[in-house]
Amino acid sequence: MFALRNAIKSDKSLLPLLCNLKRGAAAKAAAKTAAASNGKIVAVIGAVVDVQFDDDLPPILNALEVENRAPRLVLEVAQHLGENTVRTIAMDGTEGLVRGQKVLDTGYPIRIPVGAETLGRIINVIGEPIDERGPIPTNKTAPIHAEAPEFVDMSVEQEILVTGIKVVDLLAPYAKGGKIGL
């Protein structure tokens, strides 16, 4: 690293060259990830589905979609097993899946709609509305796996969640952000 810094200081034309190389490598990686590749199911064990690919393996946490299946079945890559095989977790039931069935790599992780339009709506893990109120009118989406916010961005104030149930709010108030089961 020290030698690289000295080389950059002595030859100013090296820095733009390195930046272009880095951009080119990033673009190739993005194009490779975005390019959809096909695979086939080789094993189904409950919600765990093993998928074998002919080409490059999709990255961990990428979404795969089983072709010609109704309702839509999305698989999330959890592990690379070797021999061009990935282990995935099904986001819905796996009834009816058979070995050899085709699977398509979407090239990106599972994404769900976000924004003001989603407030008060009920969606499943793959972002489809399940509250029978029609589609969610938003183009903004976010991956279901994201980095935690910085500590300075978090709210550290304790607030009480108002449930609207007088007995619960009076006798057993719940803190916002916690887990509850009513």
Of 140 and 178, which is predicted with more confidence?
Answer: 140
- Backbone torsions φ then ψ of 51, nearest 5 degrees: -125, 135
pLDDT in the model for residue 2 = 47
3-state secondary structure 112-125: EECCHHHCCCCECC
pLDDT in the model for residue 9 = 53
pLDDT in the model for residue 27 = 45
What is the pLDDT averaged over residues 22-46? 68
* 3-class secondary-structure state, position 18: helix
**Range from 94-108, 150-164, 166-180 that averages highest in pLDDT:** 94-108
Please state, in angstroms and rounded to a whole number, the distance separating the CA atoms of residues 179 and 163: 13
pLDDT in the model for residue 177 = 76
How far are the Cα atoms of 65, 87, 117 from residue 139, in angstroms, in the given order?
21, 30, 10
Could you give all domains of the chain from N- to C-terminal order, each with its CATH number?
36-107 (2.40.10.170), 110-174 (no CATH)
Which residues are registered as beta bridge partners of 109?
A: 62
Cα torsion angle, 176, 177, 179, 182, sign: positive
Of 32 and 65, which is predicted with more confidence?
Answer: 65
Give the tokens for residue 21.
């190389």
Please name the helix (run of DSSP H) or strand (run of DSSP E) that holds residue 66, with its range, or none.
strand 62-66
pLDDT in the model for residue 136 = 94
CA 92 to chain centre: 15
Of 100 and 150, which is predicted with more confidence?
Answer: 100
* 3-class secondary-structure state, position 53: strand
Task: Report which DSSP code applies to 129.
Answer: B
Q: What is the pLDDT of residues 90-131, one digit of tens each?
A: 999 999 999 999 999 999 999 999 999 999 899 999 999 999
pTM > 0.85: yes or no: no
19 pLDDT higher than 60: no
Quick one: what percent of the chain has pLDDT higher than 70?
Answer: 79
147 pLDDT higher than 80: yes
pLDDT in the model for residue 149 = 84
